[in-house]
Chains A and B, each alone.
Chain A
Amino acid sequence: MTRQDIIKPENLVYEKPRLLNENHMHYCPGCSHGVVHRIIAELIEEMGLEEKAIGVAPVGCAVFAYKYIDIDWIEAAHGRAPAIATAAKRLNPENLVFTYQGDGDLAAIGTCETIHAANRGENIAIIFINNGIYGMTGGQMAPTTLEGMKTSTTPYGRRVDLNGYPLRITDIAAQLDGTCYVTRQAVHTPAAVRKAKAAIRQAFKNSMEGRGTSFVEIVSTCSSGWKMTPEAANKWMEEHMFEKYPLGELKNTVK
């Protein structure tokens, strides 16, 4: 059996989704954003939602999400994606409307919009990338930065007496009556990727069925911001991030 025998169209079991276009993504090597982008593109294709999907892009590293996934996008001001998605979905209830936001965008500057959109039970999916750092602006402290974690604005490590505590905003979202599905996932192993994909599938389904707000946190790495190799970042995430941000379903009223 030669390589040429195997590489035939009928044997193809995986290729990147067509909606994830040929543009080279600007993310650093090993960045979790790329995996989540790919999952989203796969799901929109698999669920046949290409003509229904409206994504709301954040400010942060994923600001250019619209350059990579070939669907309609609205680029939000920093933190405002849930307000934008609120109107987009209310005015277009037949569409899939989702936001894609980082921890600074969602849990700092956009906390108000996040909480209130979720509390109203807007029929949107919120994809929340939590890597505990501001990537795009150069690795500053995020609301989710762990205690003791070094960033460019906590060069000696985050101190709770100075900077407060890491914010588990997903736990808050789970407490809100408007959310129907709240889960925390990761994309660092093949098994985790499968689970994260199933979670986002559920969130998209909920948006289409008008079940309320779905909130999917993806605990992620930022190897550049953390100053580690992608492999070491995954390990560090398992050892440190998961303790503060344990994976699993926090709420599901749709079952």
Chain B
Amino acid sequence: MEEDVRLMKGNEAIAHAAIRYGVDGYFGYPITPQSEILETLEAEMPWETTGMVVLQAESEVAAINMVYGGASTGKAVMTSSSSPGISLKQEGISYLAATELPALIVNVMRGGPGLGTIHPSQSDYFQAVKGGGHGDYRLIVLAPSSVQEMADFVALGFDLAFKYRTPSMILADGIVGQMMEKVVLPPARPRRTAEQIAEQCPWAATGRRGGRKPNVLTSLELDSAVMEKNNERFQRTYSEIERNEVRYQEYFTDDADYLMVAFGSIARICLKSIEMARAQGIKIGLLRPITLWPFPSAEIARLSRKVKGMLVVELNAGQMIEDVKLAAAGTDVPIYHFGRMGGIVPNPDEVLAAFMKHFGNESQK
């Protein structure tokens, strides 16, 4: 398959990107608003073309454990779900992290808590970047704000997962999952051969090929001294990721007097608000974290010393703002939050009004 320009939903883009990346297996379970990922894969029948396995599991719990099983054999495997389903997967995600297994998990967030709503939300930020499951672990968390990024982050997510032997997550929301946009799909690349997997993943459980020593994939260690060493190794990996893999995008920050910080779909709405503000002579910039973990703390710290005020805009009650405040610690720049919950998405006027409420008097001087 050559590079291809298509119009499609973000969820569909993830499915197509997965096939083209050469993913070995997808294991999912239906839940709104992400079911198109599984539906698209079933309709595309990649097992006929690339040999990719696609399976509708009996539950989210089974699906994430299928990912654990597939990843243990060195294969590139993924699952997707939405918020309540991601809660069910947390046990498996913790095991993946603890066993140092590469895998990709997609969360197309809907509003919670509980069964909540099927409408868009960003209220799983804490769950994604602070752990979610038990134990000291981190996920690489990528936040797409366009259908193009939905497609691109499949490859990025897998590349980082395999580079660091740790699971990564695409933390999207119902807007990016459901909206249709132009997307450039990458050319297809072949799935890795058994030999390539053996070379890339010498730790994988593939059968003791050539009589090598047994490979055992486990997170269990009853010797506390060894378990602490394991944890120290995980933390070294996380430190390396924090050094190397921070990604963000800035808009109009060069001359900004104020800064908005927003991720995913709401960042695009903020951008429109900023255009409106600039038409009135109010210079606002935007920082859009692409990696929510590792978080662009250093860049936010730098900007916090430059601007007069910051507004963190999220589709939740105020989650990422905690990381923004940590990043800006030591400055006295005022930092406020604006968010809507329950599946409500504010329009640019509302975002701008929120900004003006906090900074209107001083910014128009």
Q: Which residues of A contact B (CB under 8 A)?
A: 49-54, 56-57, 63-64, 66, 70-77, 80, 83-88, 90-92, 95-96, 112-113, 116
Take A52-B207, A73-B205 as given contacts and tell me if A112 and B58 are in contact as well, using a CB distance cutoff of 8 Å.
yes
User: A132–B25 Cα gap in the complex (Å)?
Assistant: 36
- Tell me, in angstroms, the Cα distance from A128 to B66 when the chains sit together: 20
Q: Mark B349-364, 1 if CB is under 8 A from A, else 0.
A: 0000000000000000
Using Cβ atoms and an 8 Å threshold, which residues of chain A touch B206?
Answer: 54, 72, 92, 95
**A73 contact from B27, B58, B68, B218, Cβ within 8 A:** B218
Name the A residues within 8 Å of B57 (CB-CB).
83, 116
Among residues of A, the one whose C-beta sits closest to the C-beta of B59 is A112
Residues of chain B contacted by A85 (CB below 8 angstroms): 69
A77 proximity list for chain B (CB < 8 A): 65, 68, 91-92, 95
Q: Cβ of B72 < 8 Å from any Cβ of A?
A: yes
- Nearest 4 Cβ contacts at the A-B interface: A84-B69, A75-B218, A87-B69, A83-B65
Across the interface, do A87 and B205 meet the contact criterion of CB distance under 8 Å? no
Q: Which of B62, B75, B219 contacts A83 (CB 8 A)?
A: B62
Separation in Å of the B52 CB from the closest CB of chain A? Answer: 10
Chain B 33-74 interface 0/1 with A at a Cβ cutoff of 8 Å (1 = within): 000000000000000000001010111011101111110110
Q: Total number of A-B contacts with CB less than 8 angstroms?
A: 130
User: In the complex, which residues of chain B have a beta carbon less than 8 angstroms from the beta carbon of A84?
Assistant: 65-66, 68-69, 72
Chain A hits for B61, CB < 8 A: 80, 83, 112-113
Which residues in A have their C-beta under 8 angstroms from that of B59? 112
B-side contacts of A56, CB under 8 Å: 69
Q: Which residue of A lies closest to B213 (CB)?
A: A70
Does A75 lie within 8 Å of B217, measured CB to CB?
A: yes
Interface residues of B in 176-232 (CB under 8 A from A): 205-211, 214-220
**Does B77 count as interface, using CB distance less than 8 angstroms?**
yes
Most chain A beta carbons < 10 A, residue from B67, B69, B219: B69
Asked if residues B66 and A87 are in contact (CB atoms below 8 Å), the reply is yes
14 A–B contacts from the bound complex (CB under 8 Å): A50-B207, A54-B206, A57-B218, A66-B214, A73-B214, A74-B205, A77-B68, A83-B61, A87-B65, A87-B73, A88-B72, A90-B25, A92-B73, A116-B62
B99: nearest residue on chain A (CB-CB)?
Answer: A75
Q: Could you mark each residue 256-296 of chain B with 1 if its beta carbon is under 8 Å from any beta carbon of chain A, else 0?
A: 00000000000000000000000000000000000000000
